[in-house]
Amino acid sequence: MRVDRAVDAYLRHITIERGLSEHTVGAYRRDLAVYLQWLSDAGIDDTTAVTGAIIGRFIADRSSVVPAPAATSLARLQSSVRGLHRFLVREGIEVEDPTGRLRPPKMPQRLPKALTIDQVERLLAAPSAEDPLGIRDRALLELLYATGARVSEAVGLDVDDLAHGDVLRLRGKGAKERIVPIGSFARDAVGAYLTRVRPALAAKGRASARLFLGARGAPLSRQSAWLVIRSAAERAQITSEVSPHTLRHSFATHLLQGGADVRVVQELLGHASVATTQIYTHVSVDTLRDIYATSHPRAR
């Protein structure tokens, strides 16, 4: 099968059948475009001609570019290529998977950066309660911290997803749904936004079921949500880096520090594997170690 057609078929598969998000599919598309170009430059246009040795040379070439790619980028590239060839074998298009012996690069362990509870409270209080968009921004921030939702999940919420009172329906990766509790602070903030602000925003644009709307009435984008978080961090005078995932990291870390079971946190975050969630336990252990070192009379 021609490589370009194989890539197109695989992208359709992960979009339609697997239901991956537009953001994830875009990352696969960019990675496979690099792979497709490299194979073309090497004179390879058919998937049958791709061998393990060729895959190895491709990865070696990508590892040696200047500036050197991050380990996470290289790992994602390998994952994209591996996914393509495994798909071809599953579909009966190819007999063997040339990526069978491909090993991912060793990833440096990076602990999530969580805010302190005081920093979170300052962040949540930063948007103006007198400004309509400030009311919206506070509702978004409160909801992110109350539920541990990804930013893409939050901006993808419909008003009907709030219909269950003290729980919220989130649609995560792979179109998987989960139900999470939502505390009184977030409920009050979202309620104020729904009654005082959203009707006026909705009147400015086309009818949309999305919960969070922009200043012109269109659904709030991920990029706009990121700007909301960054602006709130600046207002709260938080000097550490605050990313779209910061409140999610803080949500998980504070739950574990408060005694929540890691399996419960896994379910709330929507992680497929508990191993992904367990990285947050290292943050909690570090906190315990610091408290022990400063509090125990025989710690030093």
pLDDT tens digits for 78-96? 889 999 999 999 999 988 8
Assigned superfamily of 3-90: Tyrosine recombinase, N-terminal domain (1.10.150.130)
| Domain spans of the chain, in order of start | 3-90, 117-293
What are the residue numbers of the active site?
150, 173, 245, 248, 271, 280
State which fold the 117-293 domain adopts: hpI Integrase; Chain A (1.10.443)
The rounded Cα 33 to chain-centroid distance in angstroms is 22
pLDDT at position 213: 95
In the 8-state DSSP scheme, what is residue 159?
Answer: G
pLDDT tens digits for 93-140? 988 889 888 776 665 556 567 888 999 999 999 999 889 999 999 999
Residue spans of beta strands (DSSP E) within the chain: 167-171, 177-181
pLDDT at position 103: 75
Domains 3-90 and 117-293 share a fold: no
Q: Please compute the mean of the pLDDT values over residues 195-223 and round it to a whole number.
A: 91
pTM comes to: 0.61
